[in-house]
Structure 1
Amino acid sequence: MSNNLTSRYGTMVFSDHVMKQYLPSDTYKMLSRTIKEGKPLDLDVANTVAHAMKTWAIEHGATHFAHWFQPLTGITSEKHDSFIEPVGDGTAITKFSGKELVQGEPDASSFPNGGLRATFEARGYSAWDPTSYAFIKDEVLCIPTAFCSYTGEALDKKTPLLRSISAIDTQTKRVLALFGKHPSRVVVNVGTEQEYFLISEKDYEKRQDLVMTGRTLFGAPPCKGQELDEHYFGAIRPTVNAFMKELDDVLWGFAVAAKTKHNEVAPAQHELAPVFSNVNRAIDENLLTMEEMKLLASHHGLVCLQHEKPFEGINGSGKHNNWSIGTEDENLLDPGDTPEDNLQFLVFLTCIIEAVDNYQDLLRMSVASCSNDHRLGADEAPPAIVSIFLGDELSGIIDALAEGHEASHALRASLDFGVDVLPNLERDTTDRNRTSPFAFTGNKFEFRMPGSSGNVSDANMVLDTAVAKSLKSFADAMEARGEEGFRTAAVAYIKRVLAQHKRILFSGDGYSEEWHEEARRRGLCDFPTTADALPCFVAPKNLALFEEMGVLSETEAKSRYEVKLEKYNKLMNIEATTMRRMARRTYLPVISAYATKIAKGITTITEAMPTAGMQHERAELATLTDGVNAIYEGLDELATLHEKAEACTDSQEKANVYAHEVNPAMERLRAAVDAMEPIVAREYWPVPTYDDILFYA
């Protein structure tokens, strides 16, 4: 990497800075209007942009171009076409037209589509998204695009997100107009903290469960886990540090502002956090980051695990989604020094509280996945029940407003270390709550429920849409207020809405059983599994929300529900199949072999010394044989329930069986196998253990 840190930054991106250099000034201005104001881009301008983009890309080593899009698999896809165009005399030219830039044609029936396209109906289209920069990856010019079917339905994650951004832009401008403000655009900003594990490639290759499912289906607790808190922010292993340096270098080339990196709480767990950017680019950059993490890890003999819970009993990995909304001049979630007097902030805060309460089921659904089910509810992950944490100062203001009292201002205190050489620190007016799913953290909300492997387009699409709806309700009410003064009407509206939605606010321990009971009394949604949460997608009130805000048609929403169900069922089938095979073919033979060795030892010794007691060996042999029997019983139970699930013809019914019958059976089988691991001799155990995997050199 160059000694000049800034010289590498953005070199692989067709950024605004590069556009100014490569585009004629009039073309640049028209493209800028498209990017900033959503103005249509005609083909002549697209041809000029395409030529400049091709010139720049070839200068930087690109040989191909690809429309880079986000199908409903949740990851990214690309099809590479070369710039080469034969001319018929044995030579070739390079060619890249405006039409090729603007429109591509991937197969629509080869990706998940929830019944929108039949297998024989293959045509689909990808369309250039000029609001997210093109970039060069592995000598391919990657062009971020949306993806739709031949009949126009969105088949990707990006299109609904862009629609939700448009919805919140429209409604926020209406609200700000009431305050006499008329910004050119409203921007949703997101920062995605990406957690992940790095383990040895050699250990990974020996674990069929890791290879097939991304998590360990078996594994007894290690001798030492995270209980000493020594890994968090600890010195980074040299091998891991080398990986992180290469990752930073590559990401900076893509203009991904990778800012913070550190060891996380669990052994072998780490985190990368970028600088905030607009939500569309932030998600594209996060998906690119995840891809590069997996690819670059192999350069260092490592494997990057992005599963939410690869190891039982220690922290899982999330993707904390830090969300804020603003204009070119201000962050609309900045409370200022006296938030109780900041009416504009209180309006936006109230609308967010209302949105989260009204659509808590959708927010839970947006983060639901087979893998995230294992993470939510323990080890620093928030529970599956959605609630909002505001902190003491804002909670006091909200309580006062909801009850019709005057709110007092919380004064900031200072912290004195008691050592003259150390400075006094200004203490925030509120603490942090790691068990909160949706926490206010100064001038933004941290949505902590998304999992590390997920595409957070769904979560942000739902959040943007729900907040846009609440902002619309406020604007509608204020624009129709008649003779009543705006401030008086706005304060009355805030008080009324807060009184109706206070139930979603909670500042305590989200893990406690008392909170679960209290949440039920409050009428909050409790969907512990993905199978429980997914029907929320197609609940009538939620279909009406998407339709009203222009984000998803009923057909598009129902197709996504079907896709998510299908993915959940397929992943559960893979896990159950892998577990049955490993238990039978990997673990049972060695446990039986070790039991046989113990039995032969007992026979040999007692034959040589009939008076030998051998009570401990006999007890160990009994434990092993009981364990083998328990594994066989667990296998029989799992096989029966697995076959029951696969026999279901209704996808939702199948998901219910997997969630509430198959998964508990898998946990029981795991417990039976894991109980044998500390007993069987090390040289017999067939796979790397948690001790081996998590504490590699």
Structure 2
Amino acid sequence: MKETGNSIPELYGSLVFNDKVMRERLPKDTYKALRKTIENGTHLELDVANTVAAAMKEWAVEHGATHFTHWFQPMTGFTAEKHDSFISPDKAGQIIMEFSGKELIKGEPDASSFPSGGLRATFEARGYTAWDPTSPAFIKDGSLYIPTAFCSYSGEALDKKTPLLRSMEALNREGVRLLHLLGRKDVRKIDTTVGSEQEYFLVDKDLYKKRKDLLFCGRTLLGAPAPKGQEMEDHYFGVLKPKVASYMHDLDEELWKLGVPAKTKHNEVAPAQHELAPVFDTANVAVDHNQLIMEIMKKVADKHHLACLLHEKPFEGVNGSGKHNNWSIVTDSGENLLDPGKTPAENTQFLLFLLAVIEAVDDYADLMRISVASAGNDHRLGANEAPPAIVSIFLGDELTRVLSSIESGTDFAKEQQTLMEIGAHVLPHFAKDTTDRNRTSPFAFTGNKFEFRMPGSALSVAGPNVILNTAVAESLQNICGKLENIPEENLHDAIQNLLKEMIRRHKRILFNGNGYTDEWIKEAEKRGLYNLKSLPDALPEFISQKNLDLFTKHHIFTKEEIFSRYEILLENYAKTIHIESLTLQDMVRKDFTPALFSYMADIASEALEKKKLLPSLSSSYEEQIIRTLTESSESISVLLEKLCADTKKAEQHQDTLDAARYYHDTILLDMELLRGSVDQAEAIIPGTYLPYPTYDELLFSLR
């Protein structure tokens, strides 16, 4: 690649069958038909699909592709793909390269081995993938990747894309309906846009391979803290280490080729932690892009002899990793409906959409919490590094005063914009924002969008956006129902009364203070807000009647699809902690205990040799080490056997909720206590005795 600014536009999207490529390669009628499908959601005729498939295949082959795959997002949280070549034998014993419209729009992967939560029996194997034309195809690793939805033979959604597309349609329907009520007949469609900031850790690949816990679980299950952590606050936005900078450079290029608009990169708070943020895109494409980002991060890391860790809490004692889901609503003309403009108190359109979001988050705060619940993220939420498990909304001072003035019926006095005075005359003047930021808020308004800060770094952001879209669609529908039959001359007063009513009902969810304090936890309880601390606490709310009604009313999930996801989430939680328990037992028995006894034996031998040589010499230091490690070894033995016995009991639980609760209440506590004793002993043992790298090496080895 040439090191010039002009090469980046040439590189960007070079492996994507995007609108520019379609316009160049498709006949005009075919291009128009495809655009109509993308923009209006109309079905694509087979003859159009055949023409698109032929052009797509020719383009892909020119770029070195030999295979195609339907790329989908099953309930594993990862992506799935099955590759077929373009080759087709002819009568002369040769081959031709073929790709039909039928192959483009439909695939038939085996659905029996993917999580279904009881929707499918093992013998019911047939599943379908269906092309999603709103997310462009791309080339990766010599294959043409076609983004698709995934469903069962009987039509149930078995993936994360299908509910997301359904939720986008629901929000579009109700949002356009409200805008038309407000006289905005020019708007034909609205979309939600998403930008997902992605945090991650980088560690040396050789060190990574020596840690069973990182290999099997993605996080360290034991390990004494390094002498230095993040307390000096010197890593955040710090100078990039050469090896990290080289990795980030190559990561950007690989993502740009795939049309992923990677924009920002920097060091995060914890040592060895970093972040990448893309530019906004429609929710559907942004979710696909985030899946690609996570995959490419790992592949590029491997080429740089690094390991990329996406677990929410890979290291104890330093910040874990999140994924900030920046969410907004835009019209087909690009107008941001969450932009307050210069006079937000007078911007009726903005206020209605703002209050719709506030109502949605308040009414469905339980679903917001559930959308980010996982075994990994439970370690991170509320740990003074991420928002608490209590869902609240930060609006900032100006918008809070706007809503207060509407509720009280008083005029809003906008403060004069001030210039920042930094003190040195050589520095430029710039306008000061009307409000500060709040990093402790789970759901913060940040100028013209909301930033949902609760998702964990390994999570697919499809889930949170399904909940946001659906809950806001419900609020917009409620607003429309109250305004639709109001005469035009009375509409303004009706809107003002409705805004007052919504503010009074939902202001309990608004909080601009410090979400990390104990005082806020008490205050939230007084306000009647949910505090669902763990996945087993939260998940029963998923199948409450209120939430069943929401999803089925807007055709996001059937009742059966909801219960299947409930079962899958509980099973995944229990399985994750079960694997962690077995891994910790294995590491303590096979890795740590031999190192512990080896060091104790050497210390004891050294003390005896000293006594032999000079009986008058003191060996109190050696004796103290042996005494301390003996106490640790006895504690480890008891705690290890308890963990082993309790894990066997956990395996007997038949009910998925009971199992999840037992893993949370008993197994995690057993693991925590065992780790405490191991870490205490590890802090005394020299690293040369340990068969795995320590926190010192993992967090500070890169240069």
The interval holding the TM-score normalised by the smaller chain is over 0.9
The percent identity for this pair of structures is 54
> Where does residue 349 of structure 1 map in the other structure?
354
How much has 1:403 moved relative to structure 2? 3.7
Decide whether the 8 Å contact of 1:333 with 1:345 is kept in 2: yes
List per-residue Cα deviations over 1:601-657 (Å, max 9, x = no partner). Answer: 223323433333322322221111001111112112212221221111101000000
Give the secondary structure class of the aligned counterpart of 1:414: coil
Aligned equivalent of 1:313, options 311, 317, 321: 317
Among 620, 625, 635, which residue is 1:620 paired with? 625
1:20 to 18, 23, 27: 23
Distance 1:415 1:534 in 2: 47
Structure 1 Cα separation of the partners of residues 412 and 345 of structure 2: 6
Q: Indicate the residue corresponding to 1:189 in structure 2.
A: 193
Cross-structure match for 2:253:
249
The answer to whether the aligner puts 1:597 opposite 2:602 as a matched pair is: yes
Give, as a single letter, the amino acid of the residue that structure 2 aligns with 1:109: S
| Other-structure match for 1:221 | 225
- Equivalents in 2 of 1:406, 1:499: separation in Å? 17
In the TM superposition, residue 682 of structure 1 has moved relative to its aligned partner by 2.5
Report if the CA contact (8 A) 2:71-2:147 is conserved: yes
Alignment of 1:319-334 (within 5 A): 319-327=323-331, 328-334=333-339
2: distance between equivalents of 1:406 and 1:642?
A: 63
The aligned residue for residue 438 of structure 1 is 443
**Separation in 2 of the partners of 1:88 and 1:136?**
30
- Cα distance in 1, alignment partners of residues 582 and 635 from structure 2: 18
Give the counterpart letter for 1:98 in structure 2: G
SS in 2 for 1:675: helix
1:485 aligns with 2:490: yes
Q: Deviations over 1:447-486 (max 9, x none)?
A: 0001111101000000000000000000000013358711
Of 170, 179, 182, which aligns to 2:182? 179
Which of 507, 511, 515 pairs up with 2:516? 511
Residue 208 of structure 2 aligns with an amino acid whose one-letter code is Y
The one-letter code matched in structure 2 to 1:434 is: R
2:114 aligned to 111, 114, 120, which one? 111
Alignment of 1:630-669 (within 5 A): 630-669=635-674
Q: Is 1:629 the equivalent of 2:634?
A: yes
Q: What is the CA-CA distance between 1:316 and the residue it aligns to?
A: 0.8
Corresponding residue number in structure 2 for 1:76:
79
The one of 320, 327, 343 aligned to 1:338: 343
Distance in 1, matches of 2:697 and 2:590, equals 21
Match of 1:125 in 2: 128
Matched residue SS, 1:229 = coil
SS in 1 for 2:96: strand
For 2:31, the aligned partner's letter is Y
- Number of paired residues? 697
Looking at structure 1, the residues matched to 127 and 269 of structure 2 have their Cα atoms a distance apart, in angstroms, of: 44
Letter in 2 for 1:36: E
Q: How many angstroms does 1:600 deviate by?
A: 2.2
Conserved in 2, the CA contact under 8 Å of 1:361 and 1:536? Answer: yes
Deviation at residue 379 of structure 1 after TM alignment = 4.1
Within 5 A, what are the aligned runs for 1:94-109?
94-109=97-112
| Contact 1:340–1:408 (Cα < 8 Å) also in 2 | no
Match for 2:687: what amino acid? R
| Secondary structure, aligned partner of 1:85 | strand
- Choose 87-96 or 102-111, whichever is displaced more: 87-96
Worse-matched range after superposition: 677-686 or 551-560: 677-686
In the alignment, the residues of structure 2 paired with residue 234 and residue 666 of structure 1 have an alpha-carbon distance, to the nearest angstrom, of: 35
**RMSD of aligned alpha carbons:** 1.2
User: Per-residue deviation at 1:342?
Assistant: 1.0
Using the alignment, how far apart are the partners of 2:109 and 2:453 within structure 1? 34
Q: Distance in 2 between matches of 1:84 and 1:647?
A: 50
Deviation at 1:408, TM superposition (A): 2.5
Query: What is the deviation of 1:357?
Result: 0.5
User: 1:267 is paired with a residue of what secondary structure?
Assistant: coil
Maintained 8 Å contact 1:69/1:76? yes
Whole-Å separation in 1 of the counterparts to 2:260 and 2:375: 29
Letter in 2 for 1:249: E
Partner Cα distance (1:411, 1:467) in 2 = 33
CA distance in 1, matches of 2:518, 2:163: 37
Is the CA contact 2:149–2:159 (under 8 Å) kept in the aligned structure 1? yes
The one-letter code matched in structure 2 to 1:397 is V
The question of 1:561 aligning with 2:566 is answered: yes
| Structure 2 residue 287 is the aligned partner of structure 1 residue 291 | no
Counterparts of 1:249 and 1:154, CA distance in 2: 34
- Tell me if the contact between 2:384 and 2:516 (Cα under 8 Å) persists in the aligned partners: no
Which of 346, 353, 367 does residue 372 from structure 2 map onto? 367
AA aligned opposite 1:12:
L
CA distance in 1, matches of 2:140, 2:454: 30
Q: Is the 8 A contact 1:403 1:499 kept in 2?
A: no
Contact 2:687 2:694 (C-alpha < 8 Å) held by counterparts = no
Secondary structure of 1:467's counterpart equals: helix
Contact in 2 for aligned 1:380/1:434 (Cα 8 Å):
no
Q: Say whether 1:523 aligns with 2:524.
A: no
Superposed CA deviations along residues 530-588 of structure 1, whole A, max 9, x for unmatched, are 11112222111001000111111111111111111111111111000001111111111
Long gaps (5+) in structure 2: none
Map of 1:56 onto structure 2: 59
Where 1:416 maps in the other structure, the secondary structure is coil
Residue deviations 1:367-395 (CA, integer Å, cap 9, x gap)? 00111111111243111111101111111
Counterpart selection for 2:480 from 475, 484, 488: 475
Cα deviation, 1:69-102, whole Å, max 9, x if unaligned, reads 0011111111000000001322011111110001
Amino acid at match of 1:10: G
* Residue type of the alignment partner of 1:677: E
| One-letter amino acid matched to 1:606 | K
State the TM-score, normalized to the length of structure 1.
0.98
Q: 1:325 corresponds to which letter in structure 2?
A: I
Secondary structure of the residue that 2:202 maps to in structure 1?
Answer: strand
Cross-structure match for 1:142: 145
- The alpha-carbon deviation at position 596 of structure 1 amounts to 1.9
Which of 268, 271, 280 lines up with 1:267 in the alignment?
271
C-alpha contact 1:11 1:253 (8 A) present in aligned 2: yes
Worse-superposed segment, 468-477 or 491-500: 491-500
Note if 1:455 corresponds to 2:451.
no
User: How far did residue 594 of structure 1 move?
Assistant: 1.1
Q: Which residue of structure 2 lines up, in the alignment, with residue 93 of structure 1? A: 96
Q: Report the secondary structure of 1:642's partner residue.
A: helix
SS at match of 2:547: helix
C-alpha distance in structure 2 between counterparts of 1:654 and 1:549, whole Å: 32
- TM-score, scaled relative to structure 2: 0.98
Q: Return 5+ residue gaps in structure 1 as ranges.
A: none
Whole-Å separation in 2 of the counterparts to 1:612 and 1:72: 66
Counterpart secondary structure, 1:307: coil
Q: Secondary structure at the match of 2:247?
A: helix
Amino acid at match of 1:112: P
User: What's 1:685 paired with?
Assistant: 690
Give the letter aligned to residue 160 of structure 2: K
1:211 Cα deviation (Å)? 0.3
Would the aligned equivalents of 1:411 and 1:429 in 2 still touch at CA under 8 Å? no
